[in-house]
Structure 1
Amino acid sequence: MLKQVSASASKAFKAGLRHFWAECTPAEVPSNTNLCILPNGVRVATEETNSPLASIALYIEAGSRFETACNNGITHFIEHMAYKGFNSMTKYQLKDSLFLMGAKLNAQTSREIQIYSAKCLAESAGNIIHILSNVITDLALSEEEIEAERYNICLEMVDADNDPKQVVFDYLHQTAFQGTPLSQRVIGPTRNIQRFDRDFTATFLCEHYQPYKLALVSSGCLDHCEMVNFALARFGHMVGNPAYESDEGPCRFTGSQVIYRDDSMPFAHVAIAVEAPGYNSSEYLKLLAASCIVGSWNKCQGGGINNASPLAQSAATTNICESFESFYITYRDIGLWGCYFVCDRMNLEDMVYNIQNTWMNLSVSTLYSEARRGALQAYLKLAKAISGDPCDDIGMQAIYRCSRKSIEEIANDLSTVNQQNIKETVDKYIYDKCPAVVAVGPTENLPDYTRIRAGMYWLRF
């Protein structure tokens, strides 16, 4: 029986793990979602829908947070090697097989999670799962492909360095989480890329891609028992070794500043962020709603004084920036909450003042209408993500929570968000806190860090 697969058979394996989900049991899932844990620790989550297509993804707890300075970038390197051929199938055979199935593969790597995904017809699910399993168990790692991907990654590095927004957020992680693995770039440094070879990559795969770090998820007209059987056939042979369990390292936040001045750039790109709780926090939705209240704006957007966000009203009517966007980046146990903006060099001081003024108003005088607008926009944002590809939501919750909240439960939680608890949460995490500040471009007019820090509080009587 399915429930026996996910419970008693894995108790002995879980007992040897320090992993956060070692004591969890698959529960609290929507009626059309099934979640279980195989005997070796692989999580299998499925959502049955009437869609004729199947969306299948393999989520892996891997990324730059689980790497060291010596192997930083290896997970991203493995992503590049993923579909370059297996010992049992050349890349040309793989290409022909995908063409005949009409399937589309994708891969992406972040600081905490790596995803290999596919969209296909339901009858091709078994073949797709076989391909996804080969990515972590049967990579060919030919020297010719390794050299080609080294070159491609170097080109990717050049593109990343030419994108001011990506540079800002890489610097933001480096300064906010300095001295911790979260500060490392996903792509890694050039010196590491040149060192990665077949033996190094194969050893890392064997040691760090453990079954208890895997979650196989699907959405579409796929039967859960059938998915479990596929998972047992392809991943059931993997044997986890708790001795190789990755240490995710500390998650220390440091209020600090990084400035890269380049007067040849037409605009300055700036990000200001504070420490925030992670994905599993009970205050996640409140801070997400607060972020939606601040909102986003760019010059292509109309509205002027009729924009809902006070910061957008100010930006539209005074022309102090080209664009801004509020962000809330979450990891398992920590996050970054803040605002990224692009503006002319002479408007930096005014823009920083307006952002901080908006934040302080959130902690002092959030209105009922603003709280409801923020909660509804947060709901819309989450609902769009789930409706776009449910696998993303299922996989994230399977990795972080080992359970799944339905959109109805999320809506119920957001219905409790009001102006009072938003003010309390903003006061707790933002008011009078040291920010991390990053600026790239013509930054001459940016206030120094002590002035920005002083703007994080108001004298209140």
Structure 2
Amino acid sequence: MIQKSVIGNGVRILTEAMPQVVSSSIGIWVENGSRYEEPAENGTSHFIEHLLFKGTKKRTAAQIAEAFDAVGGVLNAFTGKEYTCYYAKVLGKDLEMATEVLADIFLESVFDPAEIERERQVVLQEISQAEDTPDDFIHDLFTENFWKGHPLALPIFGSTETVNKIDREQLTSFMAARYRSSRVFIAAAGQVEHERLTAKCAGLFGGVAGDGKVEKFSPPVDRPLVLNREKNLEQAHICIGGPGISQSHRLRYAAYVLNTALGGGMSSRLFQEVREKRGRVYSIYSFISSFIDSGYFGVYAGTNPEWVDEVLEVTIAELRKVERDGLEPAELARAKSQLQGNMLLGMESTDSRMNRLARNEIYFRRDVSMDELSAGIEAVTNDNIVELASSWFQPDKLAMVLLGDLKGRKIGRDVFAPLA
């Protein structure tokens, strides 16, 4: 059963009781991420996420870690484009302790100058690691250029330049402006009693101030470019993408089904055609990235430089087939079944349930039940698939980034000509 309450200052409490499990997952969610940063602030949200584990007025960093290690629990956090989450997973009997420690790091972190400098080096290493991982880095490269100049194009980690300039005053003022009650909620799933947790959170989080900075934002403008980036790598990495849809778009269920059938698993068209039949890649997949008001779809592949033309040709041909004909009836049914099975399997853990609660709150402000999700997927028709593919796979709107040892060779927009 899913329940929601709002305490006096506006902080929301969402729970889903799962009596059949022994664990509890709880997260403090802040509707703030890299999207809400100015260019000079880029990386501040992520830096704050790191620092909240480095000591409070009552606990040292070691004592925070020991509290969870002592009960076999997990304490962690992550930052996205539109939200940040601080979460814990523990046995149900330890939920109160987890809630108290999370509240302590969230409200009472000291931002010690020495810790800021130490953690700055950790974040810089994280940036370097991402840039040294080409199959990850190409996604940042694509977004940065496809939505150039927009906050959604900025990397979550920030850059070496911006992170080196972040100081304590910037961190504390940024947090004070954005970690406000209207943007904060607590989500918990598993062994949890809603009324008890709400009362506990009212005491712990009742002092969170409201009336923070009002964010004004607009959707990004797409830039259908082709970028050839030389880098000394064994493989050539390819990312093709174009305008997608928002989280709440009317065709979102069709997008899930199309993505699954096109490149969402071992039976998908791209995997079968490019890897299984030709052996030209180890990894190829499609994906969708959706946000409050916008999104993009993409296809990633990593291949030997001499096979780039063939991989592109086959990939574009598969996009063309879907745009023209959609999916075969058996293929459509299999994609729906795969999605529904993955959805149900993913809901067996308390952390997955906690995440689902939170994402529904951020993007829909209500619970989207499993039955509603399943019905939405089941209702997708091949006409929906063709409608979506026809809007996505337009050659004049597509963009592409190639990363690797291209030997000075430049691939241009004519690669998309078969879609015309």
TM norm structure 1: 0.85
Gapped regions of structure 2 (runs ≥ 5):
none
Corresponding residue number in structure 1 for 2:384? 421
Aligned partners of 2:43 and 2:163 also within 8 Å = yes
Q: AA paired with 1:418?
A: T
Within 2, Cα distance between the matches of 1:386 and 1:113? Answer: 21
The answer as to whether partners of 1:64 and 1:181 remain within 8 angstroms in 2 is yes
Q: Shift of the alpha carbon at 1:317?
A: 2.1
Identify the match of residue 387 of structure 1 among 332, 348, 352.
348
Aligned to 1:119: 89
Q: Which of 336, 342, 346 in structure 2 is aligned with 1:375?
A: 336
Within 2, Cα distance between the matches of 1:217 and 1:311?
A: 37
Q: Deviation at 1:259?
A: 2.0
Partner of 1:47, secondary structure, is strand
Checking the alignment, whether the CA contact within 8 Å between 1:211 and 1:240 is kept in structure 2 is yes
Q: Which residue of 2 aligns with 1:10?
A: none
Say if 1:72 and 1:192, in contact at 8 Å, map to a contact too: yes
- RMSD (CA atoms): 2.0
In structure 1, the residue corresponding to 2:13 is in which secondary structure? strand
Look up the equivalent residue of 2:130 and give its one-letter code. Answer: A
Taking a change above 3 Å as real, the CA distance of residues 197 and 286 of structure 1, as seen in their structure-2 partners, is: same
CA deviation after TM superposition for structure 1 residue 314, in Å: 4.3
How many pairs does the alignment contain?
416
- What is the CA deviation profile of residues 391-437 of structure 1, one whole-angstrom value per residue up to 9, with x for unaligned ones? 11111111111111122221111111122221122112324451121
1:336 aligns with 2:296: yes
Aligned residue identity for 1:386: M
> Shift in Å at residue 106 of structure 1?
0.9
Deviations 1:104-137 (A, max 9, x none): 1011111111111101122322332222223332
Shift of 1:158: 1.6
Where does residue 75 of structure 2 map in the other structure?
105
Partner of 2:252: 284
Deviations 1:152-206 (Å, cap 9, x if unpaired)? 1121122111100121000111011111100101111122222222222111111
Distance 1:308 1:191 in 2: 41
* Deviations, residues 133-156 of structure 1 (Å, cap 9, x unaligned): 233321111112111101111211
Q: CA deviation at 1:251?
A: 2.3
Q: Which residue of 2 aligns with 1:294?
A: 262
Q: What is residue 250 of structure 1 aligned with on the other side?
A: 219
- Code of the residue aligned with 1:452 in structure 2: it is V
Bigger drift between 337-346 and 368-377 goes to: 368-377
CA distance in 2, matches of 1:170, 1:218: 31
Say which of 28, 42, 47 aligns to 2:16: 47
Q: 1:82 to 1:248 in 2, by over 3 A?
A: farther
Alignment counterpart, residue 316 of structure 2, candidates 356, 362, 367? 356
> CA shift at 1:343, angstroms?
0.8
1:155 correspondence with 2:125 = yes
Supply the distance in 2 between the matched residues of 1:139 and 1:248 (Cα, whole angstroms): 29
The one-letter amino acid paired with 1:319 is: G
Distance 1:406 1:339 in 2: 29
| Identical-residue share of aligned pairs (%) | 20
Separation in 2, partners of 1:402, 1:153 = 33
Q: Structure 1: which 4+ aligned runs deviate by more than 4 Å?
A: 444-447
Residue pair 2:32, 2:82 contacting (<8 A) in 1 also: yes
1:404 aligned residue? 367
**Distance in 1 between the 2:86 and 2:270 partners?**
40
Q: 1:195 to 1:327 in 2, by over 3 A?
A: same
Name the residue aligned to 1:322: 282
Q: Which residue of 1 aligns with 2:2?
A: 33
AA in 2 matched with 1:62: N
Describe the shift of the 1:154–1:314 C-alpha distance in structure 2 as closer, same or farther (beyond 3 A). closer
TM-score, normalised with respect to structure 2: 0.93
Deviation at 1:292, TM superposition (A): 0.8
Give how far 1:445 is off: 9.0
For residues 353 and 396 of structure 2, the distance between their equivalents in structure 1, rounded to whole angstroms, comes to 36
* CA deviations over 1:362-418 (Å, ceiling 9, x no partner): 121121112112222222333333334211111111111111112222111111112
8 A Cα contact 2:242 2:297, kept in partner: yes
Match in the other structure for 1:223: 193
Q: What is the rounded CA distance, in whole Å, between the counterparts of 1:442 and 1:383 in structure 2?
A: 42
Question: Structure 1: 5+ residue runs without aligned partners?
Answer: 1-31, 302-306
